[in-house]
Amino acid sequence: MFEKNTKIELILKSNFDNQLEIAFNIYDTSGDGQIDQKELEDMISALSDLNDKTDHEGDHDPKKRATEIIAKLDITGDKKISKQEFIDGCKNDASMRAILVPVALLQLKRK
């Protein structure tokens, strides 16, 4: 938990590209430079719980949302999101940015 809090604190003090890069690193729990389906599902679920959204059914199902996000951002077709795909996707699509780098994540340390 301390490591994630430190990363979140860095997000608050950096420019937009750095914020996206740090957010990517939070998702990339394996540290392999890519976000896979499981990592994305886990983070979507955690962010939902953080925002007291316990409904994980239908459109709110983390697995379904992760599959949709990967399909949208995965330019290379390897079913994973690279750091560049993540950054480009968030910069070019406000809805992806809202899902992947929500205000709650950026403001967590401000509370």
CATH number at residue 38: 1.10.238.10
Flag the least confident range among 40-44, 69-73, 92-96: 92-96
**Residue 2, pLDDT above cutoff 90:** no
Mean pLDDT for 13-31 is 84
Mapping DSSP onto H, E and C, the string for the chain reads: CHHHHHHHHHHHCCCHHHHHHHHHHHHCCCCCCEECHHHHHHHHHHHHHHCCCCCCCHHHCHHHHHHHHHHHHCCCCCCCEEHHHHHHHHHHCHHHHHHHCCHHHHHHHHC
Report pLDDT for 69.
94
Report pLDDT for 109.
34
84 or 97: which leads in pLDDT: 84
Domain residues for 20? 2-110
Rounded to two decimals, the pTM is 0.74
Report pLDDT for 110.
38
Q: How many domains does the chain have?
A: 1
